[in-house]
Amino acid sequence: MDKTFQPAEIETRWYQEWEAQGYFAPQGGDRAYSIMIPPPNVTGSLHMGHGFQEAIMDALIRYHRMRGYNTLWQVGTDHAGIATQMVVERQLEAAGTSRHELGRDEFVQKVWEWKEQSGGTITRQLRRLGASLDWSRERFTMDPGLSEAVQEVFIRLYKEGLIYRGQRLVNWDPALHTAISDLEVISEEEQGHLWHFSYPLAGGEGHLTVATTRPETMLGDTAVAVHPEDERYTHLIGRTVALPLTGREIPVIADDYVDPEFGTGCVKITPAHDFNDYEMGVRHGLPMINVLTDDATINDEAPEPYRGLDRFEARKRIVADLDALGLLEKTEHHTLKVPRGDRSGVVIEPYLTRQWYVDARAMAGPAIEAVENGSIQFVPKNYENMYFSWMREIQDWCISRQLWWGHRIPAWYDDAGNFYVGASEEAVRKEHGIAADVALRQDDDVLDTWFSSALWTFSTLGWPEETEELKIFHPSSVLVTGFDIIFFWVARMIMMTLHFRQEVPFHTVYVTGLIRDEEGQKMSKSKGNVLDPIDLIDGIDIESLVKKRTAGMMQPRLAKRIETATRKQFPDGIAAYGTDALRFTFYSLASTGRDIKFDIGRIEGFRNFCNKIWNAARYVLMNCENEDCGADGSADYSLSLADRWIISRLQETEAEVARALAAYRFDHASQALYEFIWNEYCDWYLELSKPVLWDQDSSSEALLGTRRTLIRVLEASLRLLHPFMPFITEEIWQTVAPLAGKRGPTIMLQPYPTADDKAVDSAANADIEWLKGVIVGIRNIRGEMNIPPGKALTVLLKNGSEQDKSRLEQNAPFLRKLARLEQISWLQDGVEEPVSATALVGDLEVLVPMADLIDRDAELERLGRETEKLHKEVARIEGKLNNASFVEKAPAEVVAKERDKLQAQQQALAKLQEQEQRIRQM
């Protein structure tokens, strides 16, 4: 074995082996456990959020697989309609063409080509993470099978009246030329203006003043509204105003919606271009005049001078023209929320079109109930509130998109404007008796990507067929995802699955926090703070990192800033930490309900942890290979105190890990493992094994007992750790397992260690604590007094109990080795106590005679610090016990505990003060 752990070669070798051998496929067990991966964008690449979530899923999957569950981790990718289409369109643009030039069929063909070409990236990256996904069952949302499920769902929902087609205002993306759902609109505050315009009353005496942030929509105004009880305006209700620039007259109407306090209390109403105005238009039967085109330029409904102008150009012109007419009263600065498309970034227009909708209100009821009655539980629980509040006010879901990449809507139109929903043109003709000479044209639109994702848990298992897999693996066990897609995906999955399967899609939703950079900023390309999980695994030099972060930047200034910041943070690039270290870092940071600031320092610590494990294994193998380690169980052995103790601690660790995983506390699980392996197995147990292994006089039973324990505890620890660090554990386990009497082609399919209560040995724990106390006490004196580490000390013990005496007798060799002692013995009765530095272990006094090696003043200072601490503590407890109501009201055991504590501390204090006296008299 190398002196340091080298992950790179090990990782690829083992992953290929596992996959080739089919270890990832479900096998065995009556109990099933399944997770459906949130399908990543097929042409995307892995980011830290993926890395984090996949690490968690893989730990759960490996844990259950090892526990003997029939375990499925379903893998697949999403066609990601808008995102993918945009990428390919950009490529076409770069090549000097466009999708419209290609035509629909050829364009879709191009997208498929792009999918074939780049679709492997993310799945390769998933493999690098060690994710034990069942690749033999890989699915894609546009596979024939899944497409069939999509069509089936659409047709059935339509026939049940839960999908309908309607004309209403939608969120229109003028750059992408498609409707999008309300979830895909991001509203953020931006600086804008509030313009006040005069609308003259028809008839010429006076005017109303309206305030607007969007002057261009005035071309489509069909009313002015005031509050019905606003005394300033009640007399005008029912009259009309002459809408400037248009020559139209529009009524003044009354509506509660108007806030008399805001602006002038008069609102211009544009039902075709504003959601609230639309509602009011419907209430009052107002005409709806659409003045925009698909591109958000002014259309022919508007007066001639404005036709063909871009909306923002039109805005300027209208303000200028109104000003010229003396109708612009004032312009105020105003911050407003501007809705932008989450993909395109352009301002979204409320736009009147015909679209397909899912009646989400009807489907939300059972979905709310499933969470209320606990059929589905969110971890952490507070996300349930978020879910409820959204579900209770859910809007109908606009599912049609004016794109070419996606599941085409299974509806056909005839020239008379009738439409028919069915599986195919033939099916539609047959069902509705449409003659062959009647032309039918399929709907041009495709479905929202989330429509197919909503079916993911059951469509991947073969639905609408009643497959065996559906029976076994559905509902799935847990969904692991970020809170940002609870509405997009989780809620819709719950609705769809309940409707079509009459069962929940999953029992638990584990909601992870967001991975942010070390300053708590969201990672984004434009901020240039993105970390690629693969770079943390393989490492990257600074030049490549800078290049990667600044590639494709539109603004050179931004690129410069990113470069400077990157060079400052990573002057030497990023080291290769390996997958296991990265994964363990994710676990250690995964406390629930909290975003994660990813600090690069953490991963280094866990890389070191890998190295520690590696070297511990080297030590164990060095002492066990080619030796009898009790693998066949034939020879007699005896267990030392240390052996019994580490076995006992292993059980406790196993219990702790199980507890943590049951609660999705990966941070606790990782911490328990880290502490056990490093602070107990390596720091203490391996050291305690040395006096046995290196002693010429050790009995063969003792040697065997120690070797046996060394190897078996290591072997079990590797299995315990495997779900979190799959690669290093497999690599070491292959060599270690046979020595521990275990065989198998892979650690992956070995049983997961479970705690054996009978092996918990509290006496051994107490004895080791004593041993540690004595050693640490002596080390402390050595460290504080600057006694050279090589100098062997003579130590005297004083005031010991019978138990102390027997403990010393049994452990003297360990003390000598670990504390570097020449001799350790009891202070003889009647012998003058030498002036010493003192450590206390309970009542036992550990004396290091000062002779000439200890500095008198240094020891006095050290004792001073100790006694000061004790003084404070004694005073604190005395205060408590002198409080009558504490003694009276606190539970007796608490009071007794305080009394014991006080006594112990007082004794300790007295002893140290005595020592202080003796030294002073020197």
Partner RNA sequence: AGGACUAUAGCUCAGUUGGUUAGAGCGCUACCUUGACAUGGUAGAGGUCCCCAGUUCGAAUCUGGGUAGUCCUACCA
Q: Which of residues 620-659 bind RNA (CB under 7 A)?
A: 622
CB 386 → RNA: shortest distance, Å? Answer: 5
- Of 29, 68, 145, 260, which lies in the binding site for RNA, with binding defined by CB under 7 A? 260
CB 5 → RNA: shortest distance, Å? Answer: 6
- Of 64, 668, 712, 911, which lies in the binding site for RNA, with binding defined by CB under 7 A? 668
Q: Which of residues 461-500 bind RNA (CB under 7 A)?
A: 483-484, 487
Smaller CB separation from RNA, 27 or 213: 213
CA distance 642 to 640: 5
Smaller CB separation from RNA, 268 or 742: 268
Q: Are 356 and 399 in contact (CB under 8 A)?
A: yes
Q: Is the peptide bond before 380 cis (omega within 30 degrees of 0)?
A: yes
What's the 3-state SS for 81-122? HHHHHHHHHHHHHHCCCCHHHHCHHHHHHHHHHHHHHHCHHH
- Does residue 920 belong to the site contacting RNA (CB under 7 A)? no
Radius of gyration for the alpha carbons in the chain, expressed in angstroms and rounded: 37
- Does residue 698 belong to the site contacting RNA (CB under 7 A)? no
- Joined tokens for residue 848: 């290091």
Adjacency order of strands within the sheet including 476-482: 377-379, 506-512, 476-482
- Does residue 589 belong to the site contacting RNA (CB under 7 A)? yes
- Does residue 5 belong to the site contacting RNA (CB under 7 A)? yes
- Does residue 604 belong to the site contacting RNA (CB under 7 A)? yes
Q: Cite the DSSP H helix spans in 663-801.
A: 666-674, 687-694, 700-721, 726-739, 762-784
Q: Which of residues 707-766 bind RNA (CB under 7 A)?
A: none
Residue 544 phi, psi dihedral angles, 5° rounding: -65, -35
- Does residue 615 belong to the site contacting RNA (CB under 7 A)? yes
Q: Are 640 and 706 in contact (CB under 8 A)?
A: yes
Task: Give strand pairing partners of 796.
Answer: 825, 847
Distances (CA, A) of 87 to 109, 118, 140, 832, 922: 14, 11, 18, 88, 84
CB 27 → RNA: shortest distance, Å? Answer: 35
CA distance 266 to 227: 8
> Nearest Cα to 417, choosing from 443, 399, 447, 446?
443
CA distance 755 to 168: 62
CB 526 → RNA: shortest distance, Å? Answer: 14
Q: b vs e for 834-847, b when ≥16 Cβ sit within 10 Å of the residue's Cβ? A: ebbbbbbbbebbbb
- Of 30, 261, 437, 809, which lies in the binding site for RNA, with binding defined by CB under 7 A? 261
- Of 605, 738, 813, 842, which lies in the binding site for RNA, with binding defined by CB under 7 A? 605
Q: Which of residues 179-208 bind RNA (CB under 7 A)?
A: 182-183, 187, 194
Smaller CB separation from RNA, 35 or 909: 909
CB 523 → RNA: shortest distance, Å? Answer: 12
Smaller CB separation from RNA, 446 or 870: 870
- Of 70, 213, 698, 746, which lies in the binding site for RNA, with binding defined by CB under 7 A? 213
Q: Which of residues 377-436 bind RNA (CB under 7 A)?
A: 382, 385-386, 389-390, 393
Distances (CA, A) of 721 to 348, 363, 512, 781: 50, 43, 22, 36
CB 116 → RNA: shortest distance, Å? Answer: 34
Q: Which of residues 270-309 bind RNA (CB under 7 A)?
A: 274-276
Q: Are 75 and 138 in contact (CB under 8 A)?
A: yes
CB 184 → RNA: shortest distance, Å? Answer: 10
- Of 19, 518, 627, 833, which lies in the binding site for RNA, with binding defined by CB under 7 A? 518
- Does residue 871 belong to the site contacting RNA (CB under 7 A)? no
DSSP per-residue codes, 416-479 = TS-EEE-SSHHHHHHHHT--TTS--EE---EE-HHHHHTTHHHHTTTTTS--HHHHHH-SEEEE
- Does residue 265 belong to the site contacting RNA (CB under 7 A)? yes
Encoded one letter per residue, x for contact with RNA by CB under 7 A and - for no contact, window 768-797 reads: --------x--xx-xxx-x-xxx-------
CB 264 → RNA: shortest distance, Å? Answer: 7
- Of 62, 268, 315, 712, which lies in the binding site for RNA, with binding defined by CB under 7 A? 268
Encoded one letter per residue, x for contact with RNA by CB under 7 A and - for no contact, window 118-137 reads: --------------------
CA distance 659 to 651: 12
Region near RNA per CB under 7 A, out of 261-269, 299-307, 410-418, 539-547: 261-269
Contacts (Cβ under 8 Å, ≥6 apart) of 254:
225, 226, 227, 228, 234, 237
Q: Which of residues 56-95 bind RNA (CB under 7 A)?
A: none
Contacts (Cβ under 8 Å, ≥6 apart) of 452:
78, 79, 141, 142, 146, 147, 149, 150, 407, 459
Q: Which of residues 890-919 bind RNA (CB under 7 A)?
A: 890-891, 894, 897, 901
CA distance 772 to 574: 39
Smaller CB separation from RNA, 359 or 604: 604
Residue 599 phi, psi dihedral angles, 5° rounding: -105, 120
CB 258 → RNA: shortest distance, Å? Answer: 4
Question: Per DSSP, which regions of 324-451 are E strands?
Answer: 328-341, 349-358, 377-379, 397-398, 400-401, 411-413, 419-421, 441-442, 446-447
- Does residue 259 belong to the site contacting RNA (CB under 7 A)? yes
Encoded one letter per residue, x for contact with RNA by CB under 7 A and - for no contact, window 318-337 reads: ----------------x-xx
- Joined tokens for residue 824: 């350790």
- Does residue 687 belong to the site contacting RNA (CB under 7 A)? yes
CB 267 → RNA: shortest distance, Å? Answer: 4
CA distance 422 to 404: 20
Region near RNA per CB under 7 A, out of 108-116, 149-157, 664-672, 707-715: 664-672
Encoded one letter per residue, x for contact with RNA by CB under 7 A and - for no contact, window 136-175 reads: ----------------------------------------
CB 412 → RNA: shortest distance, Å? Answer: 34
Q: Total number of residues binding RNA (CB under 7 A)?
A: 97
- Of 232, 354, 471, 522, which lies in the binding site for RNA, with binding defined by CB under 7 A? 522
- Of 290, 467, 608, 735, which lies in the binding site for RNA, with binding defined by CB under 7 A? 608
Smaller CB separation from RNA, 41 or 213: 213
Region near RNA per CB under 7 A, out of 74-82, 256-264, 367-375, 417-425: 256-264
CA distance 880 to 872: 12
CB atoms within 10 A of CB 911: 18
The percent of the chain in helix, strand and coil, each rounded to the nearest 5, is: 50, 20, 30
